[in-house]
Amino acid sequence: MKIVFISDTHNQHRKVMLPVGDVLVHAGDVSGRGSREEVQDFLLWFSAQPFKHKIFIAGNHDFFIQDHPAEFRAMLPSNVIYLQDEMTEVEGVKIWGSPWTPEYMNWAFMKSHGAKIKEQWDLIPDDIDVLLTHGPMQGMLDQIFSGLSVGCAALSAAVERINPKYFLFGHIHESYGRQQNGATHCINGAVLNENYEMNNDPVVIDFL
């Protein structure tokens, strides 16, 4: 099964050159200001992509999804899977998706550091093959331009507990890339750089 992974398109989804694959996965920040219109435009594009399975989560820019969950769910195309602290199974592969990131200013889908955000990670079962979150764990592809690591410490503990085969995320545009954490392949799939310019390729994962 070939997974094509992207994140942080921020309304620039039509600029992404997607390779061929079986599953298209997006780790959030589908919009810029988080308006209904932006989210609707993303859904129209996402649902039209020629993949057997299409899965995404929200990010900290996606206010409409946070603030109007029922209306958003009613908008979802039938061939798109949205995950918010829930799992889907695709061809025997268990994927858990969650949009939360540690609190910073007044963005969407944020929880305070420590016990509050840990509550979300505690929901994740131990037998997940692919963990999909918007933000990184601490110390793993989480450095902003100043060199400061801004990932979530509580998420680090959850990844150690779950030990998924793949951990997919975005959020920190400056830290696009791959890194190994024990048996877990960690991938930051942010396609835009820190200046919100289309700079990075979609990541292709051959899930064996």
pLDDT, tens digit, 9 for 90 and up, residues 9-31: 999 999 999 999 999 999 999 99
Mean pLDDT for 1-5 is 97
Q: How far apart are CA 201 and CA 5, in angstroms?
A: 9
The whole-number pLDDT of residue 124 equals 98
Domain 2-206 fold:
Purple Acid Phosphatase; chain A, domain 2 (3.60.21)
Q: Tell me, rounded to whole angstroms, the distance of Cα 123 from its chain centroid.
A: 17
Token pair 């918010």 is found at 84
pLDDT, tens digit, 9 for 90 and up, residues 69-85: 999 999 999 999 999 99
DSSP 3-state of 81? strand
Q: How far apart are CA 27 and CA 135, in angstroms?
A: 8
pLDDT, tens digit, 9 for 90 and up, residues 30-41: 999 999 999 999
- Look at residue 164 and tell me whether its pLDDT is greater than 80: yes
Strand spans (E) along the chain: 2-6, 23-26, 53-56, 81-82, 86-90, 93-98, 101-102, 110-111, 130-133, 166-169, 177-181, 184-188, 203-206
pTM: predicted TM-score of the whole model, two decimal places: 0.97
DSSP assignment string, 188-204: E-B-B-TTS-B--PPEE
- Look at residue 208 and tell me whether its pLDDT is greater than 80: no
